[in-house]
Amino acid sequence: MSVTAPLGFRAAGVAAGIKDGGKRDVALVVNDGPSRAAAGVFTANRIKAAPVLWSQQVLRGGRLKAVVLNSGGANACTGPAGFADTHHTAEKVAELLGDSAGEVAVCSTGLIGERLPMDALLAGVESAAAQLSRDGGLAAADAIRTTDTVSKISFRRGEGGYMVGGMAKGAGMLAPGLATMLCVLTTDADLPADRLDAALRQATKVTFDRLDTDGCMSTNDTVLLMASGATGVTPDQDEFTAKVTEVCADLARQLLIDAEGATKAIAIEVVGAASEDDAVTVGRAVARSNLFKCAIHGEDPNWGRILAAVGTTDAVFEPDRVSVAVNGIWICRHGSVGDDRDKVDLRPRDVTVTIDLSAGPASATIHTTDLTAAYVHENSAYST
Amino acid sequence: MSVTAPLGFRAAGVAAGIKDGGKRDVALVVNDGPSRAAAGVFTANRIKAAPVLWSQQVLRGGRLKAVVLNSGGANACTGPAGFADTHHTAEKVAELLGDSAGEVAVCSTGLIGERLPMDALLAGVESAAAQLSRDGGLAAADAIRTTDTVSKISFRRGEGGYMVGGMAKGAGMLAPGLATMLCVLTTDADLPADRLDAALRQATKVTFDRLDTDGCMSTNDTVLLMASGATGVTPDQDEFTAKVTEVCADLARQLLIDAEGATKAIAIEVVGAASEDDAVTVGRAVARSNLFKCAIHGEDPNWGRILAAVGTTDAVFEPDRVSVAVNGIWICRHGSVGDDRDKVDLRPRDVTVTIDLSAGPASATIHTTDLTAAYVHENSAYST
């Protein structure tokens, strides 16, 4: 179902020869309206790929007719020529749809620092436009995969019968402070751009922004939300935000589970924080500790490595008041030895680390993975 | 030679049964004077081990008679009882030397969150005191090893005939913002505590503080500098600082080469920075990118991952003015594709990454290693 679950959207995914082996590598998602309100969030990385610079400009207008996406090349660090490539891609889509390039977003993913093969890409765009259909959501989700082993799609039905659908890609270079990957969300609710924007920012802040598999921030991350208004339903803002958040959380979970080389899905719950920012800061510091990630891979409830990571932050806490539970066993109490660590069962794939800072009422959860030899192998052998 | 290279110092290293397999695990270094001026720098981690809290207090007096070190246990996150253990250890040394516990520093390294076996440790201290000798520097350096595969020692002769010697341990959990490991430096120059302190801070700032193998900051890091004054030579401050810096740089290099699982020694030179702080910030961001470290392990000159890491910092730079060389080949020029990446030879163990921010005259070099399956294996199987 993916991005074509809501009414008013068509999509396609085709193999244009950008990637080897005849795999799908160009996706197109088109909004047939009647509305074309849209919002987007982008990487916080200061080194931004050409398609990010382009799409940020397009989204300022709050309207999107279509988004074209390619895997097999990030078109990042490619200079003015790379930006022109993105521009030409958008113009090609506009020409095929009889519309304006100024309302066509572009997303790219793959190796940084190489120009895209424009002949192949533009031919692919043409073929994708010819294959656009109400059933194209799955093919589109397939076409944006890089090292993803599976397509990531989701949808939820909202009150009054509108729908939110989505597709995402991302398996490495997942880190917070940004959207962390490519994601296109669609809805047939009827909402103006500013309300879409508010819902999207609120949703990504507690989902994609709290996913940190390897602490590495991409140059291409983009999350778009497009509304067709095809149902004519204008939902309550909170209810709509909750639905968008559900779809984002579902996609984030799929990204986490498929992260390169990971064998564990780790939730780091920080509670008792003086502020939500503190909770996020502490959770991220732990999520980025290679020693912690190795310990969980070895099924070792090594709370010393957790505390060592907490101690690098400027969050409000007293060292002798911090407690840590792993899978519900409080093995560190008040900064010192707690319950018997042999009681911790780390064999399941899902691992929950709870850190109580005893400093206030705020909390946040960061999601990460273990660090494995397979991650090293994949990222030593594969160029991204 | 190690810490006993300078006159006025005796040392010993013994096996007290804290570590398995009859390995040495307790070291003692004693200053026979006539001076006992001393300085120390400690971990910036807010979770500090008991011996760090103790030794920081001791060093406020600017004098050290002795330092006792143990491997096999960090005595971190052990609460008031762990602090009492450190206190008792210092008292035991003081009693054996007929001196004051207030001038005895304590260092511990090993697993966080477990009490030390005090009976074994105190018996070890007694036996170390009995074995103190002018030849004990090597045994002491051996006794502080954890996952270190070799002992790390160094010495340099200064103008006028004084000597600076040192020993260090550290193979994982090496990160900046602190001393990054245990290190004892000795000198037979005659200098007051404030001049030792200034020299030590200046030396560690450009050596140990710029070593970042895995981004993980320890709870126990301590670097001590003890002066016996036995030569009666009072060196020029700049000349002395240069000698201490040389010994620290030599030891830092030994730590880097022996870092867990590493196959590459990577120097990240940041030039053209607006400030030295900016250069350090950018160097650290790259040193902490797992994707970059995996690429170097795979001998892939993936400059896209370097730029992606640079882009996460708040350093002054324009994305389209940053250039990157790997082993002297400028594969990224002005934020875009540069010279042929196939010209980069990444087979040698030593790798130099040069990042030119084109933003000013400042520079700094951060030293790191590659990320390997062996690192993951060692840190999944071994508790620290």
Q: What's the rounded mean pLDDT across residues B138-165?
A: 92
Model-level ipTM above the cut of 0.90: no
According to the annotation, is B276 in a ligand binding site? no
Question: Is A307 in Cβ contact with B112 (below 8 Å)?
Answer: yes
pLDDT for A172 equals 55
Residue A206 identity: V
Q: Is B204 on the interface with A (CB under 8 A)?
A: no
Name residues whose C-beta falls within 8 Å of residue B21's C-beta, 6 or more positions apart in sequence. Answer: none
**CB–CB contacts below 8 A, A to B:** 214
According to the annotation, is B169 in a ligand binding site? yes
pLDDT for A211 equals 80
Q: How far apart are alpha carbons B300 and B322 in whole angstroms?
A: 20
Do the beta carbons of residue B40 and residue B199 sit within 8 Å? no
Contact list in B for residue A75 (CB cut-off 8 A) is: none
Q: How far apart are alpha carbons B79 and B57 in whole angstroms?
A: 17
Contact list in B for residue A45 (CB cut-off 8 A) is: 308, 311-312
Residues A4, A86, A109, A180: which is the catalytic one? A180
pLDDT for A177 equals 39
Q: Is A215 on the interface with B (CB under 8 A)?
A: yes
What part of B 147-166 touches A (C-beta under 8 Å)?
none
What part of B 249-288 touches A (C-beta under 8 Å)?
288
According to the annotation, is B152 in a ligand binding site? no
Nearest to A112 by CA among B351, B306, B83: B306
Q: How far apart are alpha carbons B372 and B384 in whole angstroms?
A: 18
Which candidate from B45, B82, B298 shows the least CB-CB separation from A308? B45
Q: The CATH number of A265-381 is which of 3.20.20.70, 3.30.565.10, 3.40.30.10, 3.10.20.340?
A: 3.10.20.340
Q: How far apart are alpha carbons A65 and B44 in whole angstroms?
A: 52
**Helices of type H across chain A:** 50-59, 79-97, 118-131, 137-143, 193-205, 237-257, 276-287, 290-297, 303-310, 373-381
Nearest CA in chain B to A291: B379
Q: Which residues of B are catalytic?
A: 180
Question: Is B82 in Cβ contact with A311 (below 8 Å)?
Answer: no
Q: How far apart are alpha carbons B220 and A304 in whole angstroms?
A: 12
Consecutive H or E run containing A150: none
- Give the tokens for residue A20: 């080897």
Q: How far apart are alpha carbons A342 and A340 in whole angstroms?
A: 5
Q: Is B294 on the interface with A (CB under 8 A)?
A: yes
Nearest to B106 by CA among B153, B132, B144, B80: B144
Alpha-carbon torsion (B17, B22, B25, B31), positive or negative: positive
According to the annotation, is B146 in a ligand binding site? yes
Per-residue pLDDT of chain A (384 residues; tens, 9 = 90+): 799 999 999 999 999 999 988 999 999 999 999 999 999 988 878 888 899 999 999 999 999 999 999 999 989 888 999 999 999 999 999 999 999 999 999 999 888 888 999 999 999 999 999 999 999 999 999 999 887 888 999 999 999 999 999 998 876 554 433 334 788 999 999 999 999 999 999 998 888 888 877 666 777 888 899 999 999 999 999 999 999 999 999 988 888 888 778 899 999 999 999 999 999 999 999 998 888 999 999 999 999 889 988 988 999 999 899 999 999 999 999 998 999 999 999 999 999 999 999 999 999 998 899 999 888 887 787 554
Q: Is A323 on the interface with B (CB under 8 A)?
A: no
Nearest CA in chain A to B323: A77
CATH class, range B2-257 = alpha beta
Nearest to B215 by CA among A332, A308, A46: A308
Do the beta carbons of residue B49 and residue B76 sit within 8 Å? yes
Substitution target from B380, B382, B383, B384 for chain A, most A beta carbons within 10 A = B380
Place of tokens 């007694």: B126
Q: What's the rounded mean pLDDT across residues B16-20?
A: 93
Nearest to A373 by CA among B294, B349, B148: B294
Domain boundaries, chain B: 2-257, 265-381
How many angstroms away from the CA of B7 is the closest CA of chain A? 37
Do the beta carbons of residue B303 and residue B336 sit within 8 Å? no
Do the beta carbons of residue A339 and residue A351 sit within 8 Å? no
Nearest CA in chain A to B46: A311
Nearest CA in chain A to B381: A298
Which candidate from A46, A291, A380 shows the least CB-CB separation from B294? A380
CB-count burial class (<10 Å; 0-12, 13-18, 19+) for B328: exposed
Summarised one tens digit per residue, pLDDT across range A252-266 is 888 888 877 889 999
pLDDT for B176 equals 39
